[in-house]
A and B are shown apart, each in its own frame.
Chain A
Amino acid sequence: MFRARPEAGPATVEVLVEGVPVRVPEGASAAAAFLLAGPAAIRDTPVGGGPRAPFCLMGVCFDCLAEIDGVPNRQACMVTVAPGMRIARQRGAREALR
């Protein structure tokens, strides 16, 4: 679960956060890309609908759930960016049957 932080390299990987391009260093997490891009919340809670942002950044709190490349409820802090990755806000509970 724990990895050394990547060297603060140049922001070379372009991903789409809510459709907006943002460049981050290789090895960064999707949650980091999201924080860098700056939207207020990465998800809304399933029951109360409250806004949440990435919190623990180590795979424990599940507050960074996002839809990544079309897959809902992924822990953005545990996903390493790849060129062209689409990171979208998780709006409430996922659809089970799509």
Chain B
Amino acid sequence: MIRRGLVVHRVPIGNGVLVGPVLMRSFRRGSTTGAPPGRCHGPGRHALRPRDHQGRRDRPRPVRRCRRGAVDAAAGAASHAAMPSRSSDAIVVGGGLVGAAIASGLSERGLDTVLLDEGDIAYRASRGNFGLVWVQSKGLGAPWYQRWTRRSAAEWPALAAALAARTGLDVALAQPGGVHLCLSEEEFDERARRMAQMRAEAGNHGFEFRMIRAPELRDMLPGLGPAVIGASFTPYDGHASPLALLQALHRAFTAAGGEYVPAAAVTGGRAAPGDFRVETAAGAFAAPRLVLAAGLGNAELAPLFGLSAPVRPQRGQILVTERARAVLPLPSTTIRQTGEGTIMLGDSMEEVGFDTGQSPPVMAGIARRAVLSFPWIAELNVVRAWSALRVMAPDGLPIYDQSERFPGAFTANCHSGVTLAAAHARLLAPMIAEGALDPVLAPFSAKRFDVPRAA
């Protein structure tokens, strides 16, 4: 199987695309291992998971960084090298919204793609998402982020249509524009200043927005509270069902021939330019392309493959009401009504490390602001509440990189897995398939954090 892997490694990227998925798969099908194509239940795989009476080999080994930044397992590297691995055109680490979007984009382009998912011990930001497809707050002082977000929002209808056609799932996309409600004159003035700065920074790309005062806003939003002074509005905003999106991306990925591997926490691996091997709790995998989309897990994984992803958790809490008939025509930054009728209330930004608990004072604050915005929300029962951890870079922007030391290894990190899903599936995945990130993504390189801090 190793030999088979190497042969596949050496199919140049261009050839791989020209040969096409069918031919490449049948090539693999004809290999001597007897392993079913697209599956890793071949006889060799069991050798990776000996019965537990042998003790040590069963336990995932801690990953140790080698001096040169290459990665290797802590013990028995030589025997690992002899382990058979499932070879493919691309490995994506992380089965959340970012990983699934990229993986589905890669598999649609004919790349035989394996998607490795950690399991229920993962933090799973994609399960706790608020569900906005949101543009208006993104990229103050960083117009490249504003443009990337706008492009994703513009690609979203095509993504939703493609997912519906391929999976039959409706991801409940609505892009009617959105508002950010301001509860004081100070908030309103500050918001107006920020929006004007965004427009100035957008330059020739333009940035449409309006600051709307309460009297006009009352006609747009039923039952608006007297505490609301006004709002900023942009036509680019919207929302979708994050869970339906995650399910649809996974289904589209497997329908296009991708292989989803659950319970596959990465325990080690090796890197060489265009040649990667990943050891996991569910077996070993090899490919010429490796995409690290493991959310907070990228902080530890990236350095092993010549990359950097200094992300930290930032907690957000969400409350959800019982279902009500459609009442809110527009989403706001922190209040939206879902397609099923529940009203979601967010959000908080808490620096509490990896604590996924909830805190009543924060929940009360979320509820209070929601009721000030729309007093009728007080009459609705809150039926669910949870917290989740955002994946935050030091400057809050996404990180996209290709390793200079090990070309073929990429990172993708962001805290907007829903908003950017369309960009990841339809813009980023093709770049990864081609082996080069577009220059528009250069400002998102983690190299931006490598500057020495001023004293």
Known: A46-B341, A47-B340, A73-B381. A97 touches B222 (CB 8 A): yes
Q: Which residues of B contact A73 (CB under 8 A)?
A: 322, 381
Evaluate contact between B381 and A93: CB separation under 8 angstroms: no
Residue of A46, A47, A92, A96 touching B327 (CB-CB under 8 A) = A96
Q: Is the CB of B343 within 8 A of A96?
A: yes
Q: Which of B324, B376, B377, B379 contacts A93 (CB 8 A)?
A: B324
Residue in B325, B376, B381 whose beta carbon sits within 8 Å of that of A92 in the complex = B325
Contact of A46 (CB < 8 Å), options: B323, B343, B377, B381: B323
**Does B66 reach chain A (CB closer than 8 Å)?**
no
Count of A interface residues, CB-CB < 8 Å: 10
Report A86-98 CB contacts with B as 1/0, cut-off 8 Å.
Answer: 0000001111111
Which of A46, A47, A92, A96 lies in contact with B380, CB distance below 8 A? A96
Q: How many A-B residue pairs have CB under 8 A?
A: 34
Contact of B365 with A by CB under 8 A: no
CA of A95 to CA of B379, assembled, Å: 10
| Bound: A68/B422 CA distance, A | 45
**CB pair A95 B340 closer than 8 Å:** no
Closest Cβ of chain B: how far from A46's Cβ, in Å?
5
Number of interface residues of B (CB under 8 A): 15
Residues of B contacting A46 in the complex (Cβ-Cβ under 8 angstroms): 323, 340-341
B53-81: which have CB < 8 Å to A? none
Q: Which chain B residues lie closer than 8 Å to A98 at the CB level?
A: 376
* Contact assessment for B327 and A97 in the assembled complex, using a CB-CB cutoff below 8 Å: yes
A97 proximity list for chain B (CB < 8 A): 222-223, 327, 376
Measured CA separation A95–B380 after assembly (Å): 9
CB closest chain-B residue, reference A47? B340
Contact of A93 with B222 in the complex, beta carbons under 8 Å: no
Asked if B341 contacts A93 (CB within 8 A), the reply is yes
B contact residues around A96 at 8 Å (CB) = 223, 324-325, 327, 343, 376-377, 379-380
Interface set of A (CB-CB < 8 Å, partner B): 46-47, 73, 92-98
Given contact pairs A96-B343, A97-B327, enumerate 4 new A-B contacts (beta carbons under 8 Å): A73-B322, A93-B323, A96-B325, A97-B222
- 10 A–B contacts, CB within 8 A, in A order: A46-B341, A47-B341, A73-B322, A73-B381, A92-B325, A93-B323, A94-B322, A95-B324, A95-B325, A96-B377
